[in-house]
Amino acid sequence: MKQNQQWLCQQTITDHTSSVYGLSINQQQNKVISCGCDGQILIIEQSQQDSKWIVIQKIKVETYGQRICFINDNVFIFQPYCKEQMHVYEMNNINKQYLKTKDIIVKGGTIDNCLFPQQYIKSKCLVVNRNGKYVNLIRTKENGEFKTEQSIEFGNYNLFGCMSDDGQYLITWDYSSNEIQIRKYNEI
């Protein structure tokens, strides 16, 4: 929290037991999800009474992941390390717990690094999923389905980048080309 031109630590969540690789905050800004090397996904919710953040659910995953992202307040996606599938988690309306409901096939690789966030561009209904030496662009449909529209292969897993907030540009740098590349969104 900012106080007198200075940032002060308001709270520390210590439930992860190893490195944290991915974070995402929902649209209402009252939930945070995280994933890390310890094979856990944490769902953290802000208390309405005292604004403290409370871990409300811990999900143990088979393979740890480096990327996680909210699609909306009730759905998030998680990319297990170097697996050629992305997991979709949806909130159960009865018990308010998130459960894995789908696996989406994505292109990937055998080595990865964590320095390329998973993104959801709401205005384009587009997931930017980096996995190994691929960037997978996946469209979300109104019926809850996911459709891979494009998979871009790079020459190396040392691949960094992100998409602009408006979804118009994908900016990348990879070790093989040693270039910053800018791709513009083109509706077909």
Q: What is the pTM of this model?
A: 0.93
For 16-55, write each residue's pLDDT tens digit: 999 999 999 999 999 999 999 999 999 999 998 988 999 9
Domain spans of the chain, in order of start:
18-184
Q: Euclidean distance between the first and final Cα of the chain, in Å?
A: 44
The stretch 82-91 carries a mean pLDDT of: 96
Contact 129, 100 (CB under 8 A): no
Q: Which superfamily does CATH assign the domain made up of 18-184 to?
A: YVTN repeat-like/Quinoprotein amine dehydrogenase (2.130.10.10)
For 117-176, write each residue's pLDDT tens digit: 999 999 999 999 999 999 999 999 988 899 999 999 998 889 999 999 999 999 999 999
Residue with tokens 């050629």: 84
Residue 91 Ramachandran class (φ > 0 left, ψ -120 to 50 alpha, else beta): beta
Q: Compute how many other C-beta atoms are within 10 angstroms of the C-beta atom of residue 183.
A: 16
What pLDDT score was predicted for residue 187? 75
